[in-house]
Structure 1
């Protein structure tokens, strides 16, 4: 018996990837457009202009110093964190125009500085500055 040699005129099938790429790019655009970005929470800082005169904290300012061991000092007296608000209220009552200047030591913690600033706000003083040392 003779084997028949069948010629196949069939071409090999190729998969067209164009529609798949279209879908992938449309999905990419969709995800980029609908993405929500997280806004980091922080403190707004207004840095002084370079041409502005730098003034030292004068006697009118309520200066709150924070030591490297997070000890708080107001007008030469060591103060507990719980009594910072009362001291600032008393000094603010004497001079309502006096701003609060916080002078933290570079080794002090940010937590104590924020607590002092919060105490000043609770005492009714909204002009609070941080003195860089």
Structure 2
């Protein structure tokens, strides 16, 4: 008793590729998410050292407090007018006219206080003004 038919036309084997592709896709995503990239250097380089021949420009420091008081190089300045602040700056730059004004304004100082300091610097003939800031933590 042979129950098998002699001529079977659809006797081909089929491999279902959809589950295989799904597994491979999950593996690619896993490897991409968990891979770490490091930069390895091939050479150990010791950088040269040099000294700068350009000296830093002398500075005049103007501190502005949160309540609008001014201190030029550590001495209090009358904040009554812009001209009074400019006169104090003129006295500070007599020794070195190429001095840079470094403004150290409090974070709570008003915008008007800083603008007044910049106007006084213009009146005093100071062309370079730098602003000091702290690094963000």
TM-score by length of 2: 0.52
Q: Name stretches of at least 5 consecutive residues in structure 2 with no aligned partner.
A: 1-55
CA distance in structure 2 between the partners assigned to 1:130 and 1:110 by the alignment: 13
Which protein shows a greater Rg?
A: 2
- Deviation >2 Å, runs of 4+: none
Correspondence 1:17-32 to 2 at 5 A: none
CA distance in structure 2 between the partners assigned to 1:87 and 1:78 by the alignment: 10
Aligned length: 76
Structure 1 residue aligned with 2:66, among 62, 65, 68? 68
Match of 1:123 in 2: 124
Match of 2:101 in 1: 100
CA distance in structure 1 between the partners assigned to 2:126 and 2:113 by the alignment: 17
TM-score by length of 1: 0.53
CA distance in structure 2 between the partners assigned to 1:103 and 1:87 by the alignment: 16
Match of 1:111 in 2: 112
Offset of 1:118 from its aligned partner?
A: 0.6
